Structure 1
């Protein structure tokens, strides 16, 4: 992402500046070298002194040229700068907006070899009560990648979303779910398939060369890459596939269906994987189906939903609860640092949003008018998914949690672009209508809640032996049992009893032993607020 020419550019600017002063650059016009106009000198770092971030914005070591296809084809805002100006922008921007700005150590930007390395440490290293780092969600990604996913849901890969059951030899890597009409789905891979070998390298390799091959093939493919996989199905059959990676359009809403329990209760079920903008019409379609089916109960499968747009989370909460349960309440109150103004509370949004302009359209959302919802969860249920749970709890809508403790991310950010990179730094936490928002160690399902972060429900391990949406799959089966009996079933340990660490096609780090990192850009909560409908729109 960063060019080796940046250091040379920084030196050139410094030398040019010195030469101008030596030639009397501050003297009369008769002594001015008109062939070499003055060049702005590099800024300087002084510990504890912060210039406004606007003074360094879009001053890039490698400025982009041409027009931005994701911004109405307007010219890129980039101007000539250096790695140092990019670091200084990050420093000031973090000091202005980071939730715990006073816990950032103000280190010399020149002490870091790259912009990326400097950004990595611009955060707090304090811990929660459980000993976990308070900020595990600090990351960046190429801006083009951000727009591809945010606007069209496109990612590069095979359409496989993975889950590690064991990340040390003997490793166990299984298919969590597949994107619709993807290379993997069309080749016949299924949920629960276990990876044995990739490009003739065993999943249990202990050589660095083998690890590099696995990393590239499993987690870092680009469109056009071809790799061979040997997998074992749930019935013990071994199969071999050659998959060619492509640009995959995600299918955030899957397996929408209405089930009927033994006592005649109609239960709506949907698997919801990501709060991205392309999910809005799919969610509306699902709610309309459930409404037409006249469902009595609703089960939303968030087990692999790492978050996304807070506005879409609010829309879904409204569509579940309806105006009878949400009128006169707000959904989410953002809490920012003391340098930022206090925003108005985030409402339950009852209108469709044009996510290309971030304006409401004036079209009413459908609703189910439910005062209770079942949520299926794992430790990969994060951010906007947790905001959904907390927002409904704030208005006394009953949430029954089935599965595992959620990931614990009551924080969010507004993705911010600078010099072809999009940065995510925690800029707010949030609280529901009752003022509760401290669930940094996750929401825990339990039959007998005792603490604010305890949610009534049943703890159940993820089940890879059955398809998602199958009434025999452990989490859904438990939800159906609870619907009929208002209690948890007697626990029978699943064949995949260990909770997995879920991962998607984002680049992962496979180590010796294997070290799994969550795809952080999936675990985000985007605060961007939709604007009112344009004048003349149907209100």
Structure 2
């Protein structure tokens, strides 16, 4: 190939006694800094870069007074968390509402059914939006929103770098009016005078978005799966999808993860085992922890069962993976983990480059949610990076992302219909299997602008790769 790149990663800890006496008994905070105390002790124990952060050293404080003075500098716990992160860390985060985090982990969101991307520009502060796809039966679907639709504003306000986050992700974003747009003759996105009212409601979003097969002209039967997030509660649905592909007798598989920002490591292992099947019990990936937690280093192996039932394995020796800059984390784990075993042909754009895993830490003696001594005074939790992954041959250096063998970026002027042979990225992937399907259109000039956050960026989940099971 190329450069061979919870819910609860409570991976920590069957016994918190695993911590040193100094870590366990360091100092007791006063009530006003109990959250700050939880943050410091959790990061001191499990943070991947703990040894590199001066304020997280085991000998940082000489007395209770020193420790208390340090914590008291940060009235906002988020400020302390940010101050303790390594400059290398791009992905750790904290929340003041772990209930919402848990719901998001299970795939439960408030959603209007429209998944979108955003484009920013270097020559102005304007921001434009485009629709990636729409969930069937959702409010957006019922209002006629479809893939490729464009928008420039919300509630009559032109989107820009200063306001787009609040308008589309803020507290008042449960209901809004989307100001629609279109391309003009100069390929500029401009308002078209139309608007659509959209409202979010509780929804459980199935990440197994599309499953199809294609009988190609060269006699090959190709399967296609669009998978949009590694959500453990949908692993059975994923296995069912592979059961359909297996029953259809596919010869090749196109795995579309262009909009998949990551998720459960366990789900990634399951998916890899579904694609293959001939490597049962062989090493898929390993997770390596900081020097204080080497005993938690974990090997994830290919498996043959899921929740006691057989995995529908295809035993493929090659897979085509559609990627974009939004492909991250557990999605990249699939590429890295499979690469030593089968041919992984990447089609699309360079991936994000996230090779670390995180864990949800709660304010309890074991940092676990199911601890009877969980602090009832607040709902803060944090998701720090605690491990780095490497594949079976020890490769882990893909922080700049995986570069595709078959490069092609999505073009907003020609997004196509997902799952149709004419959709540009799928067409390019299928043409690697059947050359007669090689796209006959000429690439258009590159549009100005750079991708910003999209709806796949969840305020709590972000581009996350997390562990679910305690050791």
TM-score by length of 2: 0.80
Q: Distance in 2 between matches of 1:375 and 1:285?
A: 20
Aligned to 1:124: 86
Q: Within 5 A, what are the aligned runs for 1:450-529?
A: 457-464=405-412, 465-485=415-435, 492-494=442-444, 497=447, 500-504=451-455, 519=459, 521-529=461-469
- Is the counterpart of residue 441 in structure 1 residue 405 in structure 2? no
Q: Within 5 A, what are the aligned runs for 1:97-176?
A: 97-106=46-55, 108-125=70-87, 134-141=88-95, 142-151=97-106, 153-167=107-121, 168-176=124-132
- Spell out, residue by residue over 1:429-487, the C-alpha distance to the aligned partner (whole angstroms, 9 max, x if none): 01111111111111111xxxxxxxxxxx2111114431222222221111011112499
Aligned to 1:336: 289
- Secondary structure at the aligned position of 1:195 is classed as strand
Aligned to 1:220: 170
- Secondary structure at the aligned position of 2:232 is classed as coil
Q: Distance in 1 between matches of 2:436 and 2:402?
A: 20
Q: Distance in 2 between matches of 1:114 and 1:258?
A: 52
Aligned to 2:140: 184
Aligned to 1:95: 44
- Secondary structure at the aligned position of 2:434 is classed as helix
The answer as to whether partners of 1:157 and 1:246 remain within 8 angstroms in 2 is yes
The answer as to whether partners of 2:94 and 2:382 remain within 8 angstroms in 1 is yes
Shift in alpha-carbon separation, 1:139–1:50, aligned structure 2, 3 A:
farther
Shift in alpha-carbon separation, 1:241–1:50, aligned structure 2, 3 A:
farther
Shift in alpha-carbon separation, 1:502–1:351, aligned structure 2, 3 A:
farther
Which consecutive residues of structure 1, in runs of 5 or more, have no partner in the other structure? 1-48, 60-80, 126-133, 353-360, 446-456, 508-518, 532-539
Shift of 1:162: 2.0
Aligned to 2:299: 345
465-474 or 94-103: which moved more? Answer: 465-474
- Secondary structure at the aligned position of 2:90 is classed as coil
**Residue correspondences, number:** 412
Shift in alpha-carbon separation, 1:111–1:202, aligned structure 2, 3 A:
same
Shift in alpha-carbon separation, 1:491–1:241, aligned structure 2, 3 A:
closer
Aligned to 2:12: none
Q: Distance in 2 between matches of 1:268 and 1:487?
A: 15
Computing the radius of gyration from Cα coordinates, the structure with the larger value is 1
Q: Distance in 2 between matches of 1:249 and 1:463?
A: 29
Q: Distance in 1 between matches of 2:154 and 2:298?
A: 51
The answer as to whether partners of 1:255 and 1:270 remain within 8 angstroms in 2 is yes
Q: Distance in 2 between matches of 1:502 and 1:466?
A: 21
Shift in alpha-carbon separation, 1:469–1:200, aligned structure 2, 3 A:
same
Q: Distance in 2 between matches of 1:485 and 1:287?
A: 26
Aligned to 1:270: 225
The answer as to whether partners of 1:56 and 1:89 remain within 8 angstroms in 2 is no
Aligned to 1:231: 180
The answer as to whether partners of 2:321 and 2:345 remain within 8 angstroms in 1 is yes
The answer as to whether partners of 1:53 and 1:93 remain within 8 angstroms in 2 is no
- Spell out, residue by residue over 1:478-510, the C-alpha distance to the aligned partner (whole angstroms, 9 max, x if none): 101111249987994357756633511767xxx
Residue in structure 1 matching 2:23, options 52, 72, 79: 52
Shift of 1:280: 1.0
Residue in structure 1 matching 2:354, options 390, 409, 425: 409
The RMSD of aligned alpha carbons is 2.9
Q: Within 5 A, what are the aligned runs for 1:197-208?
A: 197-203=153-159
Q: Distance in 1 between matches of 2:202 and 2:296?
A: 40
Shift in alpha-carbon separation, 1:104–1:266, aligned structure 2, 3 A:
same
The answer as to whether partners of 1:461 and 1:499 remain within 8 angstroms in 2 is no
The answer as to whether partners of 2:120 and 2:450 remain within 8 angstroms in 1 is no
The answer as to whether partners of 1:314 and 1:348 remain within 8 angstroms in 2 is yes
Shift of 1:179: 3.1
Q: Distance in 1 between matches of 2:437 and 2:386?
A: 39
Aligned to 1:34: none
The answer as to whether partners of 1:318 and 1:367 remain within 8 angstroms in 2 is yes
Q: Distance in 2 between matches of 1:489 and 1:523?
A: 32
Shift of 1:221: 5.0
Aligned to 2:321: 375
- Secondary structure at the aligned position of 2:137 is classed as coil
Which consecutive residues of structure 2, in runs of 5 or more, have no partner in the other structure? 1-19, 57-69, 185-189, 364-377
